[in-house]
Structure 1
Amino acid sequence: MKPYISIIIPAWNEEGSIAHTLRHLQDQADLLFNHAMRVEIIVVDDGSCDKTYEAAWPWADKLIKHKRRCGKGAAMQSGVAEARGDLLLFLDADLRSTAGRALVLIEPLLRHEADMAIAKLPPPRTKAGFGLVKGLARRGIRRLSGYETEAPLSGQRAVRADRLRELGELRRGFGVEVALTIDAARRGLRIVELDVPIAHRETGRDWHGFVHRGKQFAAVSMALLSRWKERKQVWYSSDRSSI
């Protein structure tokens, strides 16, 4: 039986990018796989207030729309619920002409060398933040799971559907990738990280950029706190059972 790949793209107010991303992704999938695999593209519009839904319509195999914004993790979870593939590929909506390059993440899963593959993106072309969010995420993942990552914030990742569902529901908001990496490492999933020349929208050192990174810092902090509480609860339960 042909491998079945579900490509899940959460999107919020991506009217200007989503069609470009989906078109290039579809073209590259046809070129690389040449009907050797079954592929479906699932777009989840997370309560956009622009025309993201209409722009994605001609290119998506399945299109889901949230009535209100629920967060990136919730959008990813909605995509998982509708996915039929045994391999899942999560991509951001703003990759545009570089989207097809992410398909390389499927290869380690097809070779049964990994359960999850994460894309390491090239350095940003312009200076953005000061590395605080990425540093926090890397340290938190290492301390809470023992896994040393170079791409703690990457939203571009492939994972085996059966192993993902073992982990339970995804964290609802931003910070979902950090929580997912911790959960996967704790459960013993084989994780690899690959250099992939993907480019997406960058934020600069302006007010908008600082606000965005502030929200990201808060989201990552909350994700780490939730996983720390879970680990503490496990320790507490273990101590109680040994009494």
Structure 2
Amino acid sequence: MKGRAAIIVPAYNEASYISETLRTLRQHPSFLDCWLVVVDDGSEDGTGVLAKIWADDVVCLHKNEGKGKALRQGIEAVDADYFLFVDADVGTTARYTECLLSIVRSGECEMAIACPPAAERGGFGLAKRLARRKIRQITGITIQAPLSGQRALTRRAVEAVKEWDVGFGIEAAMTVDVLRAGLPIREVPLVIRHREHGKSLEGFWHRGRQYLAIQKVMAKRREIGR
């Protein structure tokens, strides 16, 4: 089943990376029928201006609303049956996400998640382990890449997500909600590469915010399930 597909790229201050990512998506033969939407999440570095060169639509938010809300704004901007979420900083490796969209379009699952290789200069993996543990506690299912931003979802899986305005906790939240809805998920090993913060102050700040967002949203998901 083919169906209409949209690629949603949330972006906040990604001027150094977004052009390469969007060019890769725009020029991929398998994405020629996809509507490419960028959500400029209150960037201050010209991200939105660069995005307009490649995207079919650029949704500009007046302030930084967080990744989850940005994704939701992108979904609402287009009428589609399938959605592919791609992070703005994956560059040429964005081409591998075609596999995810192909899988959900085939009806094999309702959400396909890219399972990338370990980062060469990553942190200590605390946020990832927290998300994996919480998802397992709530659903009984172990997800290897609970924080992967590269995902393809059917319309039904998108509608199963109860709350989007959860910032960096969105991947963990959508995983729990889709699993609770009884919809099948598949993880796919893909060589996706991000910009790496490493063990820098910026990296620790980013992962710290992510850790707290996951704690908050998972506590709420446990309460909802009781």
Q: Would you say 1:174 and 2:168 are equivalent positions?
A: yes
Contact 2:2 2:105 in 1 (8 A): no
> Which residue of the other structure, out of 192, 199, 208, is the alignment partner of 1:198?
192
* Higher CA-based Rg: 1
Aligned residues: 226
Residue 139 of structure 1 is matched in structure 2 by 133
> Percent of aligned pairs with the same residue?
41
Contact 1:77 1:169 in 2 (8 A): no
Residue 79 of structure 2 is matched in structure 1 by 84
Residue 208 of structure 2 is matched in structure 1 by 214
Q: Distance in 1 between matches of 2:166 and 2:127?
A: 19
Residue 10 of structure 1 is matched in structure 2 by 10
Question: TM-score, normalising length from structure 2?
Answer: 0.95
Letter of the 2:135 counterpart = I
Runs of at least 5 residues in structure 2 that lack an aligned partner in the other structure = none
Residue 96 of structure 1 is matched in structure 2 by 91
Q: Distance in 2 between matches of 1:109 and 1:119?
A: 12
**Aligned alpha-carbon RMSD (Å):** 1.4
Q: Distance in 1 between matches of 2:105 and 2:91?
A: 25
Runs of at least 5 residues in structure 1 that lack an aligned partner in the other structure = 233-243
Residue 218 of structure 2 is matched in structure 1 by 224
Which whole-Å deviations, capped at 9, do the CAs of 1:28-79 have from their partners, x for residues lacking one? 1xx236x5xx210000001111100101011010110111111100000001
Contact 1:105 1:194 in 2 (8 A): yes
Q: Distance in 1 between matches of 2:142 and 2:41?
A: 31
Q: Would you say 1:66 and 2:61 are equivalent positions?
A: yes
Which whole-Å deviations, capped at 9, do the CAs of 1:183-202 have from their partners, x for residues lacking one? 00000011000011111111
TM-superposed deviation, 1:122: 1.0
Residue 103 of structure 2 is matched in structure 1 by 108
Residue 183 of structure 2 is matched in structure 1 by 189
TM-superposed deviation, 1:230: 1.0
Residue 26 of structure 1 is matched in structure 2 by 26
SS for the counterpart of 2:203 is: helix
Q: Distance in 2 between matches of 1:95 and 1:167?
A: 24
Contact 2:9 2:38 in 1 (8 A): yes
Which whole-Å deviations, capped at 9, do the CAs of 1:142-179 have from their partners, x for residues lacking one? 11112210001001000001331143442431110000
Residues 189 and 171 of structure 1: CA distance in aligned 2, closer, same or farther (over 3 Å): farther
Higher mean C-alpha displacement, 143-152 vs 207-216: 207-216
Contact 1:122 1:196 in 2 (8 A): yes
4+ residue runs over 4 A deviation: none
Residue 241 of structure 1 is matched in structure 2 by none
TM-superposed deviation, 1:2: 5.0
Q: Distance in 1 between matches of 2:76 and 2:103?
A: 24
